[in-house]
Structure 1
Amino acid sequence: MSSALLRDAIVLTVDAENTMFAPGWVAMSEGRIAGVGPMDTCPDRSDYDEVFSLPGHVVMPGLVNAHTHSAMVLFRGRSEGQSLLTMEGWYNSIREPELSLIASDIGPAVALSCAEMALSGTTTFCDQYFFAEEIAEAVKAAGIRAVIAYGIVQLGDKARGEEELALATNFLRQQRSADGRVVPWFGPHAPYVDNSEDLLLAEVAVANEFGVGLHLHMACGPEDNEETQRRYGTTAAVALEKLGFFNGRIHAAHCLDLSPEDIAVFARAPHASISHNATAGLRSGREGICPVVDLKAAGVTVALGTDNVAANNGYDMINEMRVAGLVASHREGRAQPISSAELVRMATIEGARALGLENEIGSLEKGKAADIIAIDISGPGYSETPDVETLLVYSGSGRDVRHVWVAGEHLVADRSLTRRAFSDIRREYSATYTDFWARVEAARKAA
């Protein structure tokens, strides 16, 4: 594997002190970060196979999309007017057409999603969906990192739940990639709503046995708590804590309707985190907004995610930082209760921490994996500023990402994919999209 030196850029390390070098350099060798520092300590360019002089660029850790469903790019624009954070909206606009999915649909869809993520600066994402094996293969072909949670939807069918648990367990055994870019998890869709209590506890037991996490949706709306309020007089989070569910590594998406007691549950748990999906939450029409300020004050790890692109329509994590900042101001009734620097951390190191990968990715520190992006801030919309993080969050765009490295591999060079042309990915996806929706329409007519 070649070595490379990135120099003459503004370097955001996102280390514990939020160290910035302006200008600075980052060196990588054998897929790891070999060093980082100010320009007056820059190594000799002759020591490296490649040298990139990047004035007018921000160099920073790759972004972490902490919640999405990559194959659901097939549903982009198909849920307008529906709230995907309600059982009715999800079932009518997503679940019913999902019944027409076949394994061969997944690879082209995930390839397009991985391409869009890489081109906008995301180097790691957390996925939850069906056809997990096909997702894993597509991710490996794309070259970015993914925690892939095997999606389990039971919907009251005990036999189906047992079958899905067995398949998910087999997925855990087989799919951890040798280079560490694919990490398998469990993905119970939602507690009590479509995963029973017994199944949830069985999932925790197996996940703990394999040392992996569970990624699920929580507190998306009143439906999440109806069953536990009826049976126990508590919210789902409190009921699950009493059952021992939070003894595992739990990564929960959305969490719009958390009570103070629920926040305390997450704070007490040894490894519990939340993916705040601000854009998807706003588009859902739900009144609830994830209480990020209260969660962070309680010491809970909060990351950022896009959710699927039926709920969001895009994978731009820079935009997601901006929306998260805006919605926090609206919820708290005061200006910028979450700083731009903290929003950057939520999209990088806090995302890594949520996935148990903080020792490997999420910041530019010697010895970590060389997952690095370079963003061109020399064009329109950018100008001189004393606060680079604010410039990035509130003026930036994923479309300004120019270079992306994952494990030292140059996956995006001068805004173009290096492994496979985007035009080829898009062409294959378009054919798959047409075939899939033709099957959906045929199934509807036959019903």
Structure 2
Amino acid sequence: MTRILLHSAALLTVDRQDRVIDDGWLVIEDGRIADLGPASMRPGARGFDEVIDLSGHVLMPGLVNAHTHSAMILFRGHAEGQSLLTMDGWYNAIREPELAMVAEDMAPAVALSCAEMALSGTTTFCDQYFFAEEIAAAAATAGLRAVIAYGIVQLGDAARGTEELAKASAFVEGQRSADGRIIPWFGPHAPYVDNTEALLTEEVKVANRLGCGIHLHMACGPEDNELTLERYGTTASVALEKAGFFNGRIHAAHCLDLSDEDIAVFARAEAASVAHCASAGLRSGREAICPVVPLRETGVTVALGTDNVAANNAYDMVSEMRVAGLVASHREGRAQPVSSRELVRMATIEGARALGLDHEIGSLEIGKSADLVAIDISGPGYSNTPDLATLLVYSGSGRDTRHVFVAGEQLVRDRRLTRRPFGAIRSDYDAAYRAFWARVAAAKKAA
């Protein structure tokens, strides 16, 4: 039994009472939070395997990146001038080069993504992409907690859709990890644009049978609704509700173009959530902004995600909180309609809830898994404040993360990865990056 005492930190618990403990401590025992409290109740150092002084730090739940495509780090900087939230932009900048991908590209790409996430305070991420088995293996090697959604792209080919659903089912049945860190889901890319209504409804039925969720893109642009408006006179969300799609756990990314009626669909669903990717939305050039305030007012769970780092270019979830707060103010036309504490919740417990993991992670509470991060707030850019959440969101950076634990295992110690050196990860990635883009160039030349 391993026991660790973390002490002298400001605790952002993100619990039901949203408690902030200015000078707090926390005990990790066998991978779980065994106890926590204020300095006046702090236990002595005897009986602990390790005691870590966190003076000048905030200790909080690990951040949850609720939407990304980790292998797409290979595309960082390759989508300038393209809107990845349109079919043309996605196809031209991403889909065509993707055809040159091979399974061997995944491990080095995902390893670097996981390293960047861990080093900026993310302990859980939700991924949707091809080569799901390789991505799951790489995430497991990195030690992060991950929901891995098997990417399904049909593109009008019914036989392909059936085949992909069968492969996704086999993936879900075979990939549940014994330690609970890897959680397999289905990942249809988007409704109607490249997954038909028939396939989507079948995916829900199979997902419910297998006990997994569905992660997809929704309401990214007008073209998402073109077919259903022509066929039914309704938006895609309304049409899918009528077809029974929202009978499962549905986690939808982006959701920029939700009408009031669409919001009501999400509110009526038993387990529907939204991953708001504020930075990616702004970079896309879309005028629409995810209606976070109306969604939350109707009780819909809204989490935060970075999207891929071709659309965003960074995995810093602290920065993502700040951008989400700014765009909410812009959309609603008033100052801070989403408070700093709400933004912290969206990046932690709400992300956990969206993924069906809020019983296990997302807050500092006794009995939960010790997925937590310590962020150094003693350096430049930080100062005394009456509101720790505001300091973190609007002054902070994920790059100030100093320690990271997942299930009690310390993955980052003093800003260094513990499982594998960052230099080795970066070296392997650099070689994979060069090989991938050489393949893309060769394919273009051959065509």
1:82 and 2:82 are equivalent in the alignment? yes
1:233 and 2:233 are equivalent in the alignment? yes
1:186-335 → structure 2 map (5 Å cutoff): 186-335=186-335
1:404 and 2:404 are equivalent in the alignment? yes
1:51 and 2:51 are equivalent in the alignment? yes
Alpha-carbon offset, residue 2 of structure 1: 2.1
Residue number in structure 2 paired with 1:36: 36
Alpha-carbon offset, residue 211 of structure 1: 1.0
Aligned residue for 2:216, secondary structure, equals strand
Alpha-carbon offset, residue 202 of structure 1: 1.1
Counterpart CA distance in 2 for 1:3 and 1:401 is 22
Counterpart CA distance in 2 for 1:14 and 1:45 is 26
Residue number in structure 2 paired with 1:150: 150
Write out per-residue CA displacement over residues 52-84 of structure 1, whole angstroms, 9 at most, x where no aligned residue. Answer: 111110000000000000000000000000000
Residue number in structure 2 paired with 1:344: 344
Residue number in structure 1 paired with 2:426: 426
Counterpart CA distance in 2 for 1:26 and 1:332 is 38
Residue number in structure 1 paired with 2:25: 25
Aligned residue for 1:46, secondary structure, equals coil
1:159 and 2:159 are equivalent in the alignment? yes
Residue number in structure 2 paired with 1:414: 414
Residue number in structure 1 paired with 2:136: 136
1:375 and 2:403 are equivalent in the alignment? no
Write out per-residue CA displacement over residues 244-264 of structure 1, whole angstroms, 9 at most, x where no aligned residue. Answer: 000000000000000000000
Query: When the two structures are superposed, what TM-score results if normalisation uses the length of structure 1?
Result: 1.00
Write out per-residue CA displacement over residues 266-322 of structure 1, whole angstroms, 9 at most, x where no aligned residue. Answer: 000000000000000000000000000000000000000000000000000000000
Write out per-residue CA displacement over residues 368-414 of structure 1, whole angstroms, 9 at most, x where no aligned residue. Answer: 00001000000000000001100000000011000000000000000
Which amino acid is the alignment partner of residue 400 of structure 2? D
Counterpart CA distance in 2 for 1:120 and 1:304 is 15
Query: When the two structures are superposed, what TM-score results if normalisation uses the length of structure 2?
Result: 1.00
Counterpart CA distance in 2 for 1:268 and 1:211 is 20
Structure 1: 4+ residue segments shifted above 4 A = none
Residue number in structure 1 paired with 2:123: 123
Percent identity between the two aligned chains = 74
Alpha-carbon offset, residue 198 of structure 1: 1.0
Aligned residue for 2:246, secondary structure, equals helix
Alpha-carbon offset, residue 47 of structure 1: 2.1
Counterpart CA distance in 1 for 2:415 and 2:2 is 20
Aligned residue for 2:65, secondary structure, equals strand
Aligned residue for 2:172, secondary structure, equals helix
> How many residues are aligned here?
447
Counterpart CA distance in 2 for 1:188 and 1:19 is 38
Which amino acid is the alignment partner of residue 296 of structure 1? R
Over the aligned positions, Cα root-mean-square deviation in angstroms equals 0.5
Which amino acid is the alignment partner of residue 228 of structure 1? T
Counterpart CA distance in 2 for 1:43 and 1:301 is 37
Counterpart CA distance in 1 for 2:2 and 2:76 is 38
Counterpart CA distance in 2 for 1:159 and 1:3 is 53
Alpha-carbon offset, residue 43 of structure 1: 1.3
Counterpart CA distance in 1 for 2:224 and 2:35 is 47
Which amino acid is the alignment partner of residue 69 of structure 2? H
Counterpart CA distance in 2 for 1:231 and 1:5 is 61
Counterpart CA distance in 2 for 1:53 and 1:421 is 24
Counterpart CA distance in 1 for 2:342 and 2:242 is 32
Which amino acid is the alignment partner of residue 374 of structure 1? A
Counterpart CA distance in 2 for 1:3 and 1:280 is 41
Counterpart CA distance in 2 for 1:96 and 1:273 is 30
Write out per-residue CA displacement over residues 407-433 of structure 1, whole angstroms, 9 at most, x where no aligned residue. Answer: 000000000000000000000000000
Counterpart CA distance in 1 for 2:214 and 2:132 is 14
Gaps of 5+ in 1: none
Residue number in structure 2 paired with 1:384: 384
Which amino acid is the alignment partner of residue 15 of structure 2? D
Write out per-residue CA displacement over residues 98-138 of structure 1, whole angstroms, 9 at most, x where no aligned residue. Answer: 00000000010000000000000000000000000000000
Write out per-residue CA displacement over residues 350-369 of structure 1, whole angstroms, 9 at most, x where no aligned residue. Answer: 00000000000000000000
Residue number in structure 2 paired with 1:97: 97
Alpha-carbon offset, residue 182 of structure 1: 0.2
Which amino acid is the alignment partner of residue 238 of structure 1? V
Alpha-carbon offset, residue 3 of structure 1: 1.5
Counterpart CA distance in 1 for 2:82 and 2:371 is 37
Aligned residue for 2:327, secondary structure, equals helix
Alpha-carbon offset, residue 44 of structure 1: 1.5
Alpha-carbon offset, residue 159 of structure 1: 1.1
Alpha-carbon offset, residue 147 of structure 1: 0.2
Alpha-carbon offset, residue 20 of structure 1: 1.0
Counterpart CA distance in 2 for 1:48 and 1:258 is 51
Write out per-residue CA displacement over residues 197-236 of structure 1, whole angstroms, 9 at most, x where no aligned residue. Answer: 1110111011000111000000000010001001100000
1:182 and 2:201 are equivalent in the alignment? no
Aligned residue for 2:46, secondary structure, equals helix
